[in-house]
Protein backbone atom coordinates (compact mmCIF):
# COMPACT_ATOMS: atom_id res chain seq x y z
CA UNK A 1 0.00 0.00 0.00
CA UNK A 2 2.84 2.43 0.78
CA UNK A 3 4.37 1.77 -2.64
CA UNK A 4 1.09 2.64 -4.36
CA UNK A 5 0.91 5.99 -2.51
CA UNK A 6 4.53 6.91 -3.33
CA UNK A 7 4.28 6.31 -7.09
CA UNK A 8 1.99 9.29 -7.88
CA UNK A 9 4.34 11.58 -5.95
CA UNK A 10 7.37 10.35 -7.92
CA UNK A 11 5.49 10.81 -11.19
CA UNK A 12 4.62 14.39 -10.28
CA UNK A 13 8.25 15.14 -9.44
CA UNK A 14 9.41 13.74 -12.79
CA UNK A 15 6.88 15.87 -14.69
CA UNK A 16 8.13 18.97 -12.87
CA UNK A 17 11.77 18.24 -13.68
CA UNK A 18 11.00 17.59 -17.37
CA UNK A 19 8.97 20.81 -17.58
CA UNK A 20 11.86 22.80 -16.13
CA UNK A 21 14.34 21.28 -18.63
CA UNK A 22 12.02 22.04 -21.52
CA UNK A 23 11.68 25.67 -20.41
CA UNK A 24 15.46 26.06 -20.12
CA UNK A 25 16.02 24.60 -23.58
CA UNK A 26 13.40 26.87 -25.13
CA UNK A 27 14.97 29.98 -23.63
CA UNK A 28 18.54 29.14 -24.73
CA UNK A 29 20.02 31.17 -27.64
CA UNK A 30 20.49 29.25 -30.90
CA UNK A 31 24.11 28.59 -31.80
CA UNK A 32 25.22 28.94 -35.40
CA UNK A 33 28.62 27.48 -36.25
CA UNK A 34 30.96 29.72 -38.18
CA UNK A 35 31.02 28.86 -41.88
CA UNK A 36 34.27 28.07 -43.60
CA UNK A 37 33.47 30.74 -46.15
CA UNK A 38 31.44 33.37 -44.36
CA UNK A 39 31.87 34.67 -40.82
CA UNK A 40 28.69 34.47 -38.74
CA UNK A 41 27.81 35.12 -35.12
CA UNK A 42 25.76 33.07 -32.68
CA UNK A 43 22.60 35.21 -32.70
CA UNK A 44 21.08 38.02 -34.70
CA UNK A 45 21.41 40.37 -31.74
CA UNK A 46 25.08 39.53 -31.27
CA UNK A 47 25.70 39.89 -35.01
CA UNK A 48 24.26 43.42 -34.96
CA UNK A 49 26.28 44.41 -31.88
CA UNK A 50 29.52 42.96 -33.25
CA UNK A 51 29.03 44.66 -36.62
CA UNK A 52 28.48 48.05 -35.02
CA UNK A 53 31.51 47.59 -32.76
CA UNK A 54 33.85 46.48 -35.56
CA UNK A 55 32.64 49.11 -38.02
CA UNK A 56 33.30 51.88 -35.49
CA UNK A 57 36.81 50.57 -34.89
CA UNK A 58 37.84 49.94 -38.50
CA UNK A 59 40.08 52.77 -39.66
CA UNK A 60 40.99 53.64 -43.23
CA UNK A 61 44.46 53.03 -44.62
CA UNK A 62 46.79 56.04 -44.52
CA UNK A 63 48.26 56.45 -48.02
CA UNK A 64 50.58 59.30 -47.11
CA UNK A 65 52.00 61.14 -50.13
CA UNK A 66 50.71 58.31 -52.37
CA UNK A 67 47.22 59.71 -51.78
CA UNK A 68 48.01 62.47 -54.29
CA UNK A 69 48.54 59.98 -57.12
CA UNK A 70 46.12 58.19 -59.42
CA UNK A 71 48.88 55.77 -60.53
CA UNK A 72 52.16 54.75 -58.94
CA UNK A 73 54.38 51.99 -60.32
CA UNK A 74 57.84 50.78 -59.40
CA UNK A 75 58.63 49.19 -62.78
CA UNK A 76 56.78 51.22 -65.41
CA UNK A 77 53.44 52.16 -66.95
CA UNK A 78 52.54 50.87 -70.41
CA UNK A 79 49.70 52.34 -72.43
CA UNK A 80 47.60 51.78 -75.53
CA UNK A 81 46.54 55.25 -76.66
CA UNK A 82 44.30 56.95 -75.75
CA UNK A 83 43.74 56.64 -72.01
CA UNK A 84 42.30 59.38 -69.77
CA UNK A 85 43.91 59.73 -66.33
CA UNK A 86 42.82 62.34 -63.77
CA UNK A 87 45.39 62.65 -60.99
CA UNK A 88 49.16 62.57 -60.66
CA UNK A 89 51.20 59.73 -62.16
CA UNK A 90 54.66 58.50 -61.19
CA UNK A 91 57.15 55.65 -61.46
CA UNK A 92 60.12 54.93 -59.21
CA UNK A 93 62.82 53.69 -58.98
CA UNK A 94 62.64 52.91 -62.71
CA UNK A 95 63.59 55.62 -65.22
CA UNK A 96 60.93 58.01 -66.50
CA UNK A 97 61.36 56.45 -69.93
CA UNK A 98 59.26 53.54 -68.61
CA UNK A 99 56.20 55.82 -68.37
CA UNK A 100 54.56 55.48 -71.78
CA UNK A 101 51.57 57.75 -71.16
CA UNK A 102 51.50 60.91 -73.26
CA UNK A 103 51.01 64.37 -71.82
CA UNK A 104 47.53 64.81 -73.34
CA UNK A 105 46.33 61.66 -71.56
CA UNK A 106 46.94 62.98 -68.03
CA UNK A 107 45.11 65.73 -66.15
CA UNK A 108 47.69 66.14 -63.42
CA UNK A 109 51.47 65.91 -63.09
CA UNK A 110 53.64 63.10 -64.45
CA UNK A 111 56.57 62.69 -62.05
CA UNK A 112 59.83 60.98 -63.03
CA UNK A 113 63.07 60.19 -61.20
CA UNK A 114 65.25 61.49 -64.03
CA UNK A 115 65.23 63.66 -67.13
CA UNK A 116 63.47 60.98 -69.18
CA UNK A 117 59.74 60.56 -69.67
CA UNK A 118 56.83 62.23 -71.47
CA UNK A 119 57.63 65.69 -72.80
CA UNK A 120 56.99 68.51 -72.33
CA UNK A 121 54.87 67.81 -69.24
CA UNK A 122 57.00 65.51 -67.08
CA UNK A 123 58.41 66.89 -63.82
CA UNK A 124 61.59 65.41 -62.37
CA UNK A 125 61.24 64.92 -58.62
CA UNK A 126 62.98 61.78 -57.38
CA UNK A 127 62.59 62.74 -53.71
CA UNK A 128 58.79 63.04 -53.94
CA UNK A 129 58.55 59.72 -55.75
CA UNK A 130 60.74 57.95 -53.21
CA UNK A 131 58.47 59.17 -50.43
CA UNK A 132 55.31 58.22 -52.34
CA UNK A 133 56.57 54.71 -53.08
CA UNK A 134 57.63 54.25 -49.46
CA UNK A 135 54.20 55.39 -48.26
CA UNK A 136 52.53 53.06 -50.77
CA UNK A 137 54.45 50.09 -49.39
CA UNK A 138 53.69 51.11 -45.80
CA UNK A 139 50.00 51.33 -46.68
CA UNK A 140 50.12 47.88 -48.27
CA UNK A 141 51.69 46.41 -45.11
CA UNK A 142 49.07 48.13 -42.95
CA UNK A 143 46.15 46.80 -45.01
CA UNK A 144 47.63 43.29 -45.20
CA UNK A 145 48.25 43.23 -41.46
CA UNK A 146 44.69 43.94 -40.33
CA UNK A 147 43.35 40.99 -38.30
CA UNK A 148 40.05 39.51 -37.10
CA UNK A 149 38.09 39.82 -40.37
CA UNK A 150 34.35 40.34 -40.35
CA UNK A 151 34.11 38.06 -43.40
CA UNK A 152 36.42 35.15 -44.20
CA UNK A 153 36.51 33.69 -47.73
CA UNK A 154 33.13 35.17 -48.60
CA UNK A 155 31.52 33.32 -51.49
CA UNK A 156 34.41 30.85 -51.55
CA UNK A 157 36.36 33.46 -53.50
CA UNK A 158 33.65 34.34 -56.04
CA UNK A 159 31.49 37.31 -55.04
CA UNK A 160 29.36 38.05 -58.09
CA UNK A 161 25.92 39.45 -57.25
CA UNK A 162 26.77 40.29 -53.65
CA UNK A 163 26.24 43.50 -51.69
CA UNK A 164 29.27 44.24 -49.52
CA UNK A 165 28.66 46.08 -46.25
CA UNK A 166 31.44 47.90 -44.35
CA UNK A 167 34.14 45.83 -42.69
CA UNK A 168 37.30 43.80 -43.08
CA UNK A 169 37.17 40.99 -45.67
CA UNK A 170 39.82 38.30 -46.08
CA UNK A 171 40.30 35.77 -48.88
CA UNK A 172 43.06 33.19 -48.48
CA UNK A 173 43.21 32.46 -52.22
CA UNK A 174 42.27 34.19 -55.50
CA UNK A 175 39.22 36.46 -55.72
CA UNK A 176 36.89 36.53 -58.73
CA UNK A 177 34.22 39.13 -59.50
CA UNK A 178 32.27 37.43 -62.34
CA UNK A 179 29.11 39.56 -62.19
CA UNK A 180 28.11 42.98 -60.84
CA UNK A 181 28.49 43.74 -57.13
CA UNK A 182 27.41 46.61 -54.88
CA UNK A 183 29.41 48.24 -52.08
CA UNK A 184 26.88 49.77 -49.69
CA UNK A 185 27.41 52.01 -46.68
CA UNK A 186 27.71 55.59 -45.51
CA UNK A 187 30.21 58.23 -46.59
CA UNK A 188 32.37 57.57 -43.52
CA UNK A 189 32.32 53.76 -43.62
CA UNK A 190 35.49 51.83 -44.49
CA UNK A 191 36.04 48.63 -46.47
CA UNK A 192 39.33 46.71 -46.52
CA UNK A 193 39.59 43.68 -48.81
CA UNK A 194 42.59 41.39 -48.26
CA UNK A 195 43.34 39.03 -51.15
CA UNK A 196 46.13 36.45 -50.79
CA UNK A 197 46.13 35.64 -54.52
CA UNK A 198 45.04 37.33 -57.76
CA UNK A 199 42.02 39.59 -58.18
CA UNK A 200 40.14 39.18 -61.46
CA UNK A 201 37.10 41.12 -62.64
CA UNK A 202 35.30 39.76 -65.68
CA UNK A 203 34.50 41.78 -68.82
CA UNK A 204 31.63 44.32 -68.61
CA UNK A 205 31.22 43.76 -64.85
CA UNK A 206 30.59 46.82 -62.67
CA UNK A 207 31.07 47.75 -59.04
CA UNK A 208 28.33 50.15 -57.91
CA UNK A 209 28.44 52.32 -54.78
CA UNK A 210 25.27 52.75 -52.72
CA UNK A 211 24.12 54.60 -49.61
CA UNK A 212 26.81 57.26 -49.83
CA UNK A 213 29.80 54.89 -49.93
CA UNK A 214 33.00 56.63 -51.08
CA UNK A 215 35.69 55.11 -53.30
CA UNK A 216 38.38 56.85 -51.23
CA UNK A 217 37.37 54.68 -48.24
CA UNK A 218 37.66 51.36 -50.11
CA UNK A 219 40.98 49.50 -50.10
CA UNK A 220 41.81 46.38 -52.11
CA UNK A 221 45.08 44.83 -50.88
CA UNK A 222 46.26 42.05 -53.20
CA UNK A 223 49.36 39.87 -53.03
CA UNK A 224 48.82 38.73 -56.62
CA UNK A 225 48.07 40.53 -59.87
CA UNK A 226 44.91 42.54 -60.51
CA UNK A 227 43.13 42.28 -63.87
CA UNK A 228 40.09 44.36 -64.77
CA UNK A 229 38.23 42.95 -67.77
CA UNK A 230 37.23 44.73 -70.97
CA UNK A 231 34.85 47.70 -70.35
CA UNK A 232 34.50 46.77 -66.67
CA UNK A 233 34.22 49.45 -63.96
CA UNK A 234 36.02 49.30 -60.61
CA UNK A 235 35.71 51.35 -57.41
CA UNK A 236 38.36 51.85 -54.72
CA UNK A 237 42.08 52.02 -54.09
CA UNK A 238 44.16 49.07 -55.30
CA UNK A 239 47.29 48.28 -53.28
CA UNK A 240 48.97 45.51 -55.26
CA UNK A 241 52.21 43.74 -54.44
CA UNK A 242 52.25 42.67 -58.08
CA UNK A 243 50.94 44.22 -61.34
CA UNK A 244 47.67 45.97 -62.17
CA UNK A 245 46.34 45.26 -65.66
CA UNK A 246 43.40 47.06 -67.25
CA UNK A 247 41.91 45.53 -70.37
CA UNK A 248 40.53 47.63 -73.24
CA UNK A 249 38.01 50.24 -72.13
CA UNK A 250 38.06 49.35 -68.42
CA UNK A 251 37.62 52.22 -65.97
CA UNK A 252 38.38 52.83 -62.31
CA UNK A 253 37.26 55.41 -59.78
CA UNK A 254 40.19 54.99 -57.44
CA UNK A 255 43.97 54.68 -57.28
CA UNK A 256 46.28 52.07 -58.76
CA UNK A 257 49.32 51.69 -56.52
CA UNK A 258 51.46 48.83 -57.81
CA UNK A 259 54.76 47.45 -56.59
CA UNK A 260 55.48 46.26 -60.16
CA UNK A 261 53.92 47.47 -63.44
CA UNK A 262 50.64 49.09 -64.46
CA UNK A 263 49.21 48.27 -67.90
CA UNK A 264 46.67 50.56 -69.59
CA UNK A 265 44.64 50.03 -72.78
CA UNK A 266 42.42 53.00 -73.60
CA UNK A 267 41.27 53.27 -69.99
CA UNK A 268 39.68 55.92 -67.77
CA UNK A 269 41.26 56.44 -64.35
CA UNK A 270 39.90 59.00 -61.87
CA UNK A 271 41.56 59.65 -58.51
CA UNK A 272 38.75 59.90 -55.93
CA UNK A 273 38.30 63.16 -54.03
pLDDT value at residue 273: 85
Which range marks the domain in which residue 187 is found? 64-270
Q: Is residue 244 part of a domain?
A: yes
Given a cut of 90, whether residue 15 has pLDDT beyond it is: no
Q: What one-character DSSP code corresponds to residue 263?
A: E
pLDDT tens for 127-184 read: 999 999 999 999 999 999 999 999 999 999 999 999 999 999 999 999 999 999 999 9
Is residue 44 assigned to a domain? Answer: no
Q: How far is CA 110 from the centre of its chain?
A: 27
Rg of the chain over Cα atoms, rounded to whole angstroms, equals 26
Residue 45 lies in a domain: no
pLDDT at residue 193 is higher than 70: yes
In a domain, 38, yes or no: no
Give how far Cα 98 sits from Cα of 92, 117, 179, Å: 10, 7, 34
DSSP, collapsed to helix, strand or coil, labels residue 152 as strand
Q: What's residue 185's pLDDT?
A: 98
Tell me what pLDDT residue 11 has.
44
Once rounded to an integer, what is the mean pLDDT over residues 250-269? Answer: 98
Whether the per-residue pLDDT at 36 is higher than 70: the answer is no
The set of residues, in sequence order, having a beta carbon less than 8 Å from that of 105 and lying 6+ positions away, is 79, 81, 82, 83, 84, 85
Alpha carbons 157 and 229: distance in angstroms, whole number: 17
Residue 191 and residue 183 in contact, taking contact as beta carbons nearer than 8 Å: yes
Q: Residue 23 domain-assigned?
A: no
Phi first, then psi: give them for residue 84, nearest 5 degrees: -135, 105
Number of structural domains (the chain) is 1
- Structure confidence by residue, pLDDT tens digits, 66-125: 999 999 999 999 999 999 999 999 999 999 999 999 999 999 999 999 999 999 999 999
Bridge-based pairing state of the strands 106-107 and 268-270: unpaired
> pTM of this prediction?
0.81
Let me know if residue 42 belongs to a domain: no
Give me the pLDDT at residue 1, please: 43
Q: For the chain, give the mean pLDDT.
A: 86
Task: Tell whether 91 is covered by a domain.
Answer: yes
Residue 58 lies in a domain: no
b/e map 141-167, b = 16+ CB within 10 Å: ebbbebeebbbbbbbebbbeebebbbb
Amino acid sequence: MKLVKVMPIVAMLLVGVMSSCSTDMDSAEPVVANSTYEATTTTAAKQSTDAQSKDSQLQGVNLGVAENFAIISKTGITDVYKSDVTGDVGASPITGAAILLKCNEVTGTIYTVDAAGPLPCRVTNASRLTTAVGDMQTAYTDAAGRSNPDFLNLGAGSIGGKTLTPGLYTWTSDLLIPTDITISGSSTDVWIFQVAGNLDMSATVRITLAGGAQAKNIFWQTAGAVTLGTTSHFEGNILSQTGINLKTGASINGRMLAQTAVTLQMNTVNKPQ
